[in-house]
Amino acid sequence: MQAIAGLYGLIVIGGGASAVAKSKVSLYAGVGTGLFAIAGALVMAKNPKLGLALILIGAIAPLPRMLPGFIKTQTIWPAGVVSLCAIAVIISAILTFNQLKPQP
């Protein structure tokens, strides 16, 4: 999960950076959500629940903008790639959460 989240964070940062010519907000949003995913991957080793929460924030945040954009325009980069990767990360995070052992 940590490697998946880290890779996803880099993809989202890349998506934001590639859209900087059109919108600085896209850059800030991409970097921000990507950093949440990367921070979650780093935190998971010591605090898995917090790490998964950060990863989920980074994966859920871009979906309201990217998924409708992908459906409407069918543009693969960045909307399609980020949307599909975010959905995969959300599913992976849920499966990982279900495998966590309860802490006494």
Q: Does the pLDDT value for residue 43 go beyond 80?
A: yes
Question: pLDDT of 67-86, one tens digit each?
Answer: 999 999 999 998 999 999 99
- The C-alpha atoms of residue 21 and residue 12 are separated, in whole angstroms, by 16
- The C-alpha atoms of residue 42 and residue 52 are separated, in whole angstroms, by 10
- Which one-letter DSSP state was computed for residue 47? -
Residue closest to 39 by CA, chosen among 25, 58, 13, 12: 58
Q: Does the pLDDT value for residue 102 go beyond 80?
A: no
- The C-alpha atoms of residue 50 and residue 41 are separated, in whole angstroms, by 10
- The C-alpha atoms of residue 65 and residue 75 are separated, in whole angstroms, by 13
> pTM of the full predicted structure?
0.89
